[in-house]
């Protein structure tokens, strides 16, 4: 982050004189990133799920700071509310050990580290190189209020929206079919 | 019908008979015998008709071209002169006799249909050689004879001797045929045609650029086919075939083809004094060597085989002194009496149950068992020994006269040296021939000891044929005065000098052998020896096959027997051991050719197995190793795959960005 | 606000998720990492949508769709993991090596069964 901060562009407000929103964004971003790193490195599987809640919540806050409030609430509802719960259920159903498990990481870890670091370096370099002078104007009417989102969704994106509902239905059916234990004890389970 | 049509039918009929026999042999066994005998006899009748019409007059030539064949045309051509007409009659007579004889000799043989068809095919090929006026067509007949000879010699292919003999006959004759083919091409390239008349015209006009080379190349093929030194070794071994086959192929026809070929193209050979000298030396060596070898053989058919080689040597000798009339005259009379000798020997072998002269000399009364064979064989042996007035006397005298004339410079077709060589060798061989003929006769028919086994009368078909052939053996020589017109016109009648010399030597040889036999025969009682066939009542061919197969185990060698009562052993002295093996020529060939070829074959095998295969195996192993190395990457771990995939993506992305930034 | 902040944050989150996907052994932890990556993308989408002031708000719409699809994906993914766990007795990704190339098919089967026994024990 420090290297990014030092890259002050000539146009727009400089990085050395941040606005309040930017400071808040940076702080929340640091927390989010830290939570994400802990999620992928911790040896306690359940803790990983809980740290994931922190990371996803942090992203929701970032959405709010970017004035996309509807998406922020959706994020909280769906991710924090249901996806993480689902993951926790999954952990329990697969008898994941509670507490520290020494083999949470596979033998592929060094390779993963190298690939991730290389990808991060390359992407950060490219992104910073491309957008260091770009300024988002957050003033004016909020762009992600529920009203705005509803209008754009049901005016312009109705067809994909409906198609998505069919996809969700298919996923629902598929998940049920996959997780059934078998024909003979399917009756007993219902 | 014109003479040409008749002549075309002569080779065609046996060919059709052979084709029909091969086709119907399995399905209609009743037709096999008529199909074997009738076309051959018809061909004989037609050949006689052709000979009568031709009458020794001007040569009849006819040709038709089936299709254009490039620079040197190949034509279906006939060239009928006195030589062709008479030789065809001889082939017809011998082939007919052999076919009739075979119906009795191989009466129960399961392979008789194919055998008879092959004999017919062989006859057809020989007639084609005889009548053909085109060298390429002649070559076709020449090679068909080679392959038929291979099949027929190997008729008893159950025995290893027959298998080896057929292979040897094929390979040795082919060894001569390769240079023969090259020689034919060289000749045709020089003459610009394959037609015999055209070639002879070119020779007269001096159009042949390399007469010596061409003649020597052709001589190689002739030596192979006519069993002349040094390519004669296949003929004695070929006696592993059935007796009628020996009579047909190895006495009267196939081996005669070489001599006949030289007679046809004699001007080509005469154009080169070197070739004539080589031919003379070859003939002399063949004559004397084979006569000595014949004196040491124990198998009755091998004696006859070596005698065939010797008589062919006479014919070559006549050609070497440039008298083809004498050569073909001897060919005709020899064809008759040698066929008779072989066929009679077949009867004797059947009656005695053995082919060993040593065993026969310990049987008494064999002559009474087979009187027909006894009398006809006596006639034929007298003809072979050139005793007047039998056929062999006149023909052999014709050869000697020609040699004498050349030696003394009365004839200038061939160098005088060739004449001397042939003359001296011919006289020496006359002595030896009489000696081995007498030995054969005495040992086979005048044995002392147990009574010969009685197998009943021989089939009529076999005995009748013997008498038919005895007639020309007896009287053909008397036709000598009228034969001049058929040939080149040289006188064939004997002169006093040669007649006295030849007959005197023949009588001397016979008497010396008789004396030796008288001295040796008491020893026979001390050394019991002999073996007889196990199936005396089966067809004659079975007896013969068994006799051939048991000769080596019973006597230690396929050629000779350890018999102290053999007059040949007494006469030859220390030479006997070498003569019995054909002067170790087979051993020499083994050392010179067979071993190097085998060594080369094992070298090739080694190269193939160890060197070439190493590369092959190496290529396979390298691929396998590479595959194993690549396989290690396939761990089945999805995360590894994904890592590599993403690493590649990053590399590509960075490369793309760098390129974009650089551009 | 500088666009660089959300963009760099998204990049770092994405690469953190990437590391998790590649390094984690438990399949459910891998799914969590996938969620992180999806969220990084979502953040990017929203930031760019706000920056561009798109009248259709395609970025936000796509974010919503992504969230929905991610929910469906997590459901199906968990179902698959559960089934694998039921069949194999383990949800460890590096033990699911049916695609591995082994010298000789029989040995592979023995190895597989041996590992299964080991896992259940």
Residue B247 lies in a domain: no
Q: A25 — contact with chain C (CB < 8 Å)?
A: yes
Q: What is the three-class DSSP state of C101?
A: coil
B302 and B358 Cβ atoms separated by less than 8 Å = no
Residue C93 confidence class, pLDDT cut points 50, 70, 90: confident
Is the pLDDT assigned to residue B233 strictly greater than 80?
A: yes
Determine, for residues A108 and B654 on separate chains, whether the beta-carbon distance falls below 8 Å: no
Q: State whether B570 and B589 are in the same domain.
A: no
Domain spans, chain A: 2-139
Q: What is the three-class DSSP state of A132?
A: coil
Question: Which pLDDT score, from 0 to 100, does residue C114 have?
Answer: 47
* Segment A161-185 mean pLDDT: 84
Q: Containing domain of residue C100, as a range? A: 4-120
The two tokens of residue B580 are: 């019995």
Residue B606 distance to chain A (closest CA, Å): 52
Q: B631 — contact with chain C (CB < 8 Å)?
A: yes
Q: Containing domain of residue B41, as a range? A: 1-155+167-226
SS3 per residue for A19-62: CHHHHHHHHHHHHHHHHHHHHHHCCEHHHHHHHHHHHHHHHHHH
CATH number at residue C9: 1.10.287.3510
Task: Name the range with the highest mean pLDDT among A85-89, B103-107, B453-457, B564-568.
Answer: A85-89
> What domain count does chain C have?
1
As a whole number of angstroms, the distance between CA B222 and CA B235 comes to 14
Determine, for residues C98 and B631 on separate chains, whether the beta-carbon distance falls below 8 Å: no
pLDDT in tens, B263-297: 888 888 888 888 888 888 988 999 888 888 888 88
A1 and C1 Cβ atoms separated by less than 8 Å = no
Question: Which pLDDT score, from 0 to 100, does residue C19 have?
Answer: 93
Determine, for residues B643 and A115 on separate chains, whether the beta-carbon distance falls below 8 Å: yes
Q: State whether B220 and B76 are in the same domain.
A: yes
Q: How many residues does chain B have?
A: 663
Higher pLDDT, B352 or B619: B619
Task: Name the range with the highest mean pLDDT among A69-78, B3-12, B80-89.
Answer: A69-78
Percent of chain A at pLDDT > 70 equals 88
Residue of B nearest to C94 (CA): B637
Residue of C nearest to B641 (CA): C22
Residue A10 confidence class, pLDDT cut points 50, 70, 90: very low
Q: B638-662 and C4-23 helices cross at what angle (nearest 10)?
A: 150
The two tokens of residue C12 are: 């770092």
Burial of C22 (0-12, 13-18, 19+ CB in 10 A): buried
The CATH number fitting domain A2-139, selected from 1.20.120.1200, 1.10.645.10, 3.50.30.30, 2.10.10.90: 1.20.120.1200
Whole-number Cα distances in Å, B591 to B85, B235, B599, B603:
44, 20, 11, 17
What residues of chain A lie within 8 A of the CB of C69, using their CB? 164, 167
As a whole number of angstroms, the distance between CA B322 and CA B419 comes to 9
Lowest mean pLDDT among A126-140, B454-468, B494-508: B454-468
Percent of chain B at pLDDT > 70 equals 96
Question: Which pLDDT score, from 0 to 100, does residue A53 have?
Answer: 93
Residue B267 lies in a domain: no
Q: Which residues of C23-58 are buried (b: 16+ CB within 10 A; e: fewer)?
A: bbbbbbbbbbbbbbbbbbbbbbbbbbbbbeeeeebb
Question: Which pLDDT score, from 0 to 100, does residue A145 have?
Answer: 86
Q: State whether B353 and B465 are in the same domain.
A: yes
B37 Cβ neighbours under 8 A, 6+ residues apart:
B96, B99, B100, B103
As a whole number of angstroms, the distance between CA A145 and CA A71 comes to 9
Q: State whether B561 and B627 are in the same domain.
A: no
Residue B633 distance to chain C (closest CA, Å): 8
How confident is the prediction for chain B on average, in pLDDT? 84
B623 Cβ neighbours under 8 A, 6+ residues apart:
none
Question: Which pLDDT score, from 0 to 100, does residue A38 have?
Answer: 93
Residue B505 lies in a domain: yes
Lowest mean pLDDT among B61-65, B76-80, C34-38, C109-113: C109-113
Q: A105 — contact with chain C (CB < 8 Å)?
A: yes
Residue B619 lies in a domain: yes
Determine, for residues C94 and B634 on separate chains, whether the beta-carbon distance falls below 8 Å: no
Question: Which pLDDT score, from 0 to 100, does residue B648 have?
Answer: 92
Q: State whether B357 and B458 are in the same domain.
A: yes
Question: Which pLDDT score, from 0 to 100, does residue B68 have?
Answer: 77
* This prediction's pTM: 0.68
B115 and B155 Cβ atoms separated by less than 8 Å = yes
B136 Cβ neighbours under 8 A, 6+ residues apart:
B74, B184, B194
* C-alpha closest to that of B309 among B204, B229, B414, B412: B229
Question: Which pLDDT score, from 0 to 100, does residue B532 have?
Answer: 62
Is the pLDDT assigned to residue B326 strictly greater than 60?
A: yes
Q: State whether B579 and B452 are in the same domain.
A: yes
Residue B259 lies in a domain: no
Of A108, A114, A119, the CB nearest to B639: A108
Question: Which pLDDT score, from 0 to 100, does residue A167 have?
Answer: 92
Of A1, A32, A87, the CB nearest to C31: A87
β-partners of residue B364 are B451
Residue A2 confidence class, pLDDT cut points 50, 70, 90: very low
Q: State whether B217 and B319 are in the same domain.
A: no
Is the pLDDT assigned to residue B450 strictly greater than 70?
A: yes
Residue B443 lies in a domain: yes
B551 and B349 Cβ atoms separated by less than 8 Å = no
Residue B533 confidence class, pLDDT cut points 50, 70, 90: low
Question: Which pLDDT score, from 0 to 100, does residue B534 have?
Answer: 58
B204 Cβ neighbours under 8 A, 6+ residues apart:
B267
> What domain count does chain B have?
3
Q: State whether B572 and B604 are in the same domain.
A: no
Residue C103 confidence class, pLDDT cut points 50, 70, 90: low
Is the pLDDT assigned to residue B251 strictly greater than 80?
A: no
Within B204-275, strands assigned E span none
Of B634, B639, B643, the CB nearest to C100: B634
Higher pLDDT, B207 or B167: B167
Is the pLDDT assigned to residue A39 strictly greater than 70?
A: yes
Q: Which chains does A contact via 3+ CB–CB distances below 8 A?
A: B, C
pLDDT in tens, A98-139: 778 777 788 788 889 999 999 999 999 888 888 888 888 887
Q: State whether B625 and B563 are in the same domain.
A: no
């Amino acid at each position: 982050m420090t290297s990014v901060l030092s890259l002050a562009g000539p146009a727009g407000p400089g990085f050395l004189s941040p606005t309040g929103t930017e400071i808040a964004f940076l702080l929340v971003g640091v927390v989010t990133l830290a939570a994400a790193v802990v999620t992928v490195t911790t040896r306690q599987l359940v803790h990983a799920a809980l740290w994931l809640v922190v990371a996803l919540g942090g992203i929701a806050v970032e959405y709010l700071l970017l004035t996309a409030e509807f998406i922020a609430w959706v994020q909280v509802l769906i991710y924090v509310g249901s996806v993480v719960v689902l993951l926790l259920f999954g952990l329990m159903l697969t008898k994941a050990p509670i507490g520290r498990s020494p083999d949470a990481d596979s033998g592929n870890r060094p390779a993963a580290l190298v690939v991730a670091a290389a990808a991060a370096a390359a992407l950060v370099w490219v992104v910073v190189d491309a957008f260091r002078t770009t300024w988002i104007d957050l003033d004016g009417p909020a762009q992600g209020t529920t009203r705005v989102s509803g209008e754009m969704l049901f005016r312009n994106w109705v067809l994909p929206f409906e198609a998505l509902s069919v996809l969700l239905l298919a996923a629902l059916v598929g998940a049920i079919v996959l997780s059934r234990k078998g024909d003979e004890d399917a009756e007993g389970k219902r | 019908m014109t003479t040409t049509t008749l002549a075309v039918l002569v080779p065609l009929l046996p060919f059709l008979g052979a084709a029909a026999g091969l086709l119907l042999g399995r399905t209609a066994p009743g037709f096999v015998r008529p199909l074997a005998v009738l076309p051959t006899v018809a061909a004989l009748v037609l050949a006689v008709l052709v000979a009568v019409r031709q009458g020794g007059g001007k040569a009849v030539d006819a040709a038709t071209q089936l299709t254009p064949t490039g620079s040197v045309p190949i034509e279906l051509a006939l060239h009928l002169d006195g030589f062709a007409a008479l030789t065809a009659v001889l082939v017809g007579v011998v082939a007919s006799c052999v076919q009739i004889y075979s119906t009795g000799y191989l009466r129960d043989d399961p392979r008789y249909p194919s055998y008879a068809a092959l004999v017919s095919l062989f006859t057809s090929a020989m007639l084609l050689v005889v009548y053909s006026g085109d060298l390429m067509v002649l070559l076709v007949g020449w090679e068909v004879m080679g392959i038929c000879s291979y099949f027929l010699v190997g008729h008893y292919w159950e025995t290893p001797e027959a298998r080896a003999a057929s292979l040897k006959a094929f390979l040795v004759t082919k060894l001569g045929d390769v240079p023969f083919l090259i020689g034919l091409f060289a000749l045709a390239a020089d003459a610009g045609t394959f037609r015999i008349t055209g070639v002879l015209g070119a020779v007269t006009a001096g159009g042949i650029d390399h007469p010596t080379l061409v003649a020597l190349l052709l001589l190689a093929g002739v030596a192979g086919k006519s069993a002349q030194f040094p390519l004669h070794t296949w003929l004695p071994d070929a006696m592993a075939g059935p007796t009628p086959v020996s009579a047909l192929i190895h006495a009267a026809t196939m081996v005669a083809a070489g001599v006949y070929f030289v007679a046809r193209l004699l001007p080509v050979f005469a154009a080169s004094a070197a070739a004539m000298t080589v031919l003379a030396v070859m003939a002399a060596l063949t004559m004397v060597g084979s006569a000595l070898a014949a004196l040491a053989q124990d198998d009755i058919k091998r004696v006859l085989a070596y005698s065939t080689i010797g008589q062919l040597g006479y014919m070559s000798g006549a050609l070497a002194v440039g008298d083809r009339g004498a050569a073909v005259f001897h060919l005709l009379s020899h064809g008759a009496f040698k066929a008779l000798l072989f066929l009679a020997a077949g009867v004797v072998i059947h009656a005695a149950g053995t082919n060993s002269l040593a065993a026969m000399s310990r049987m008494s009364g064999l002559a009474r068992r087979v009187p027909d064979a006894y009398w006809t064989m006596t006639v034929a042996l007298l003809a072979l020994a050139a005793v007047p007035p039998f056929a062999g006397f006149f023909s052999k005298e014709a050869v000697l006269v020609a040699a004498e004339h050349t030696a003394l410079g009365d004839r200038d077709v061939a160098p005088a040296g060739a004449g001397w060589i042939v003359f001296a060798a011919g006289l020496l061989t006359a002595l030896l021939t009489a000696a081995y003929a007498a030995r054969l006769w005495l040992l086979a028919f005048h044995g002392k000891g147990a009574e010969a086994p009685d197998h009943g009368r021989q089939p009529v078909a076999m005995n009748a044929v013997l008498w038919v052939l005895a007639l020309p053996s007896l009287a053909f020589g008397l036709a000598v005065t009228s034969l001049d017109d058929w040939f080149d016109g040289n006188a064939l009648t004997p002169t006093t000098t040669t007649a006295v010399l030849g007959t005197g030597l023949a009588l001397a040889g016979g008497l010396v052998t008789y004396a030796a036999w008288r001295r040796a025969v008491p020893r026979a009682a001390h050394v019991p020896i002999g073996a007889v066939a196990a199936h005396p009542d089966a067809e004659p061919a079975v007896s013969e096959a068994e006799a051939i197969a048991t000769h080596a185990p019973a006597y230690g060698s396929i050629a000779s027997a350890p018999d102290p009562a053999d007059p040949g052993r007494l006469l030859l002295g220390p030479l006997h051991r070498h003569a019995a093996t054909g002067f170790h020529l087979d051993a020499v060939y083994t050392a010179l050719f067979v071993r190097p070829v085998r060594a080369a074959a094992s070298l090739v095998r080694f190269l193939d197995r160890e060197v070439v295969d190493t590369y092959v195996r190496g290529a396979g192993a390298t691929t396998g190793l590479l595959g194993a190395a690549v396989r290690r990457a396939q761990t089945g771990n999805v995360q590894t795959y994904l890592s590599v995939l993403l690493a590649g993506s990053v590399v590509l992305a960075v490369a793309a960005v760098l390129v974009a930034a650089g551009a | 606000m500088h666009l660089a902040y959300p963009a760099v944050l998204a990049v770092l989150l994405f690469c953190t998720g990437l590391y998790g996907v590649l390094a984690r052994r438990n399949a459910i932890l891998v799914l969590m990492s996938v969620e992180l990556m999806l969220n990084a993308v979502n953040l990017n989408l929203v930031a760019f949508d706000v920056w561009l002031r798109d009248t259709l708000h395609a970025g936000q719409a796509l974010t919503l769709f992504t969230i929905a699809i991610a929910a469906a994906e997590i459901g199906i993914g968990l179902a698959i993991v559960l089934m694998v766990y039921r069949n194999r007795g383990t949800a460890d990704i590096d033990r699911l090596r049916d695609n591995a190339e082994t010298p000789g098919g029989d040995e592979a089967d023995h190895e597989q069964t041996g590992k299964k026994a080991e896992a259940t024990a």
